[in-house]
Amino acid sequence: MSARLVVAGSAAGQQPWSRETPAQDQLAQPWWRSAVVYQVYLRSFADGNGDGIGDLAGLRARLPYLSWLGVDALWINPHYPSGGADGGYDVVDYRAVDPEYGDVSDVEALVADARRLGLRVVLDVVPNHTSDRHPWFQAALADPDSPEAARYHFAPPSEQPPNNWRSLFGGPAWSRTPDGRWYLHLFAPEQPDLNWRDPVVAEDFERTLRFWLDRGVSGFRVDVAYGLHKDAALRDNPGEYSPTLFGHGPEQAMTWNQPEVHDVWRRWRAVCDEYPDTMLVGEVCLADLDEVALYSRPDELHQSLSFRLLKSKWETPAFAEAIGSALEAFGRVGAPVSWVLGNHDKERMVSRFGGGETGLARARAAAMLLLALPGSAYVYAGDELGLPQAHVPDEAKQDPIFHRSGGERAGRDGCRVPMPWNATSGVGFSPARSARPWLPVPAEWKRHAVSRQTRDSGSVLHLYRTALGIRAEHPALGSGEATVSTRGDVLTVRCTGGGRTVRCVVNMGTGTALVRSRGQVLLESGPGVHTSARSVALPPDTAVWIEES
């Protein structure tokens, strides 16, 4: 039995990456429509000054690696001064750099270095909430009648919170001030939500956008883009906090996805349109993909991230539905899909897909699928090394999710452990081996080190680099149209563009699958693939790219 869905997509030692390459801009279409964007969790990528914390100097030193790898852009998680309550997502000053990471001149130098290597820089911006140490919130605490108090959600003193809203990090979404008022925080108490009905908030964020765009950045990833506005009357949500597998739905009708939020993105789009070649990509965690796609209408955000693959089980129906539904939903608004398989909030792909050799094989196959699909692809730092989820001892964990849940939820530290660059005791993360990384790095991670994988032609790193190189040259990969079909445990995505066609075939079953082949095998995700004149024998948990004759 087979199912078929046809949808249109939118248009240490000598280092091998130690030379610069000229910038090569894609002129045929906006770069972001088919870009491969590499997500840098700044604190964990590379430490330049030896304090155990990743920083902008460390990232600058590793830019040639990203150029060698073959990505188009890098998105940097928040670099702003922060209260430290949520990995930088509690911002104190949006137009500055946390001294742990450097200063504004380091961002400017990073952008310049990246441009010389043909890379673009995308920053993270956090408009839903600030830090409780932000000057506005401090002024609001000091004086309930201050103008700053109107920039947050406060409720008068009472015995109970104003409504039943829940924090995503656990517990009520309301906390008391010293004078007995309640304030809203849909995340940690140290992250008070802004009131976007106050025009000063919108005006200030537009100044922030221009501040960084004037320094040459190519756009922004917008945190919690489906948030910002809340029900003006603060009415109860109709259900308990219980997001579905794929995101928030009607049970959160008063806290997320308010109609007014789309006006914010229209204003932000107008700002970006003043700066050619820039983009906005939103984090939109909603269960309804049609609603997610609306954020990418032509006058709003350029993209909104599609998390279906990130949250799908390793099975053909789930993956086929995730791909087909995203292509359909985004196609209806004329936007490309922004595909995601890993990020700083979710368990690492290898572990999510079963762990060990099985999880690694599946992660390799999934990477080939990701890089074949029409649209842009977001690659989380370390996924190109096949990193598993790290075990972080409870006493070393820093994620507020772990602490606010009393340890019931593991938190996100395991996917944020620093990158292993070489096989030394400090894995090359810091210039000084004696430096203690901000999160402990497992001793066994030496085998995943970049220095080892660059010397191994069969490594996950080489698979990514080869796939990225083919994608960059082949018109059918990353753009054009896609046809999604399944037959048993075999998933096929037929990608067509520029008069050429490539089939990405993934065997998600437990036995070898015989796949019809009338063309050239471009790439295999793992060993054991056997090719004859008319067929390809594809082992379990393996993918292949076949260019049709």
User: Which residues, in sequence order, are CB contacts of 313 under 8 Å at separation 6+?
Assistant: none
327, 7 in Cβ contact below 8 A? yes
Q: Among the CATH numbers 3.40.50.2000, 3.20.20.80, 1.10.3720.10, 3.30.720.110, which is that of 36-128+199-473? A: 3.20.20.80
Which of these, 151, 150, 100, 103, lies nearest to 127 by C-alpha position?
A: 151
Answer yes or no: 357 catalytic: no
Give me 356's structure tokens.
């060990």
> How many helices and strands in the chain, by DSSP H and E?
13, 20
Answer yes or no: 198 catalytic: no
3-class DSSP assignment, residue 337: coil
Q: Which of 193, 223, 291, 547 is catalytic?
A: 223
Angle CA(99)–CA(102)–CA(108) in degrees, nearest 5? 140
- Which value, to the nearest 10 degrees, does the dihedral of the CA atoms of residues 471, 474, 479, 480 take? -150
Q: Phi first, then psi: give them for residue 189, nearest 5 degrees.
A: -55, -25
3-class DSSP assignment, residue 487: strand
Give me 533's structure tokens.
């004149």
Could you read off the pLDDT tens digit of each residue along the chain, which spans 549 residues? Answer: 333 333 333 333 334 333 333 333 334 689 999 999 999 999 999 999 999 999 999 999 999 999 999 999 999 999 999 999 999 999 999 999 999 999 999 999 999 999 999 999 999 999 999 999 999 999 999 999 999 999 999 999 999 999 999 999 889 999 999 999 999 999 999 999 999 999 999 999 999 999 999 999 999 999 999 999 999 999 999 987 777 778 899 999 999 999 999 999 999 999 999 999 999 999 999 999 999 999 999 999 999 999 999 999 999 999 999 999 999 999 999 999 999 999 998 999 999 999 999 999 999 999 999 999 999 999 999 999 999 999 998 898 988 888 878 888 888 988 999 999 999 888 999 998 778 999 999 999 999 999 999 999 999 999 999 999 999 999 999 998 999 999 999 999 999 999 999 999 999 999 999 998 889 999 999 999 999 888 999 999 999 999 998
Measured distance CA(499)–CA(158) in Å, rounded: 67
The amino acid that residue 63 corresponds to is L
The beta strands (E) that lie in 223-343 are given as: 279-282, 303-306, 338-340
DSSP annotation of 82 reads: B
Burial label for 41, CB within 10 Å (0-12, 13-18, 19+), is buried
342, 515 in Cβ contact below 8 A? no
Measured distance CA(186)–CA(322) in Å, rounded: 28
Burial label for 1, CB within 10 Å (0-12, 13-18, 19+), is exposed
Q: How far is CA 364 from the centre of its chain?
A: 18
The amino acid that residue 135 corresponds to is P
385, 448 in Cβ contact below 8 A? yes
Measured distance CA(367)–CA(504) in Å, rounded: 11
- Which value, to the nearest 10 degrees, does the dihedral of the CA atoms of residues 239, 240, 244, 250 take? 20
DSSP annotation of 166 reads: B
DSSP string, 380-419: ETTGGGTPPPPP--GGG---HHHHHTTTSS--SGGG-SPP
Measured distance CA(47)–CA(101) in Å, rounded: 9
Q: Among the CATH numbers 3.30.70.2860, 3.40.50.720, 3.40.630.10, 3.90.400.10, which is that of 135-184? A: 3.90.400.10
Give me 471's structure tokens.
């994608």
Angle CA(87)–CA(88)–CA(94) in degrees, nearest 5? 170
Total residue count of the chain as it appears in this document: 549
User: Which residues, in sequence order, are CB contacts of 214 under 8 Å at separation 6+?
Assistant: none
pTM (2 d.p.): 0.93
Measured distance CA(42)–CA(88) in Å, rounded: 10
Measured distance CA(548)–CA(503) in Å, rounded: 7
C-alpha count within 13 angstroms, C-beta hemisphere, residue 407: 5
Domain boundaries, the chain: 36-128+199-473, 135-184, 481-547
The helix (run of H) or strand (run of E) holding residue 505 is strand 500-507
303, 338 in Cβ contact below 8 A? yes
3-class DSSP assignment, residue 305: strand
88, 400 in Cβ contact below 8 A? no
Give me 262's structure tokens.
């789309």
Q: How far is CA 381 from the centre of its chain?
A: 10
In this structure, whether the domain defined by 481-547 belongs to CATH 3.40.1160.10 is answered with: no
Residue 532's CB: how many other CB atoms inside 10 A?
9
Q: Which residue has the tokens 């104003």?
A: 162
Q: Which of 214, 236, 273, 274 is catalytic?
A: 274
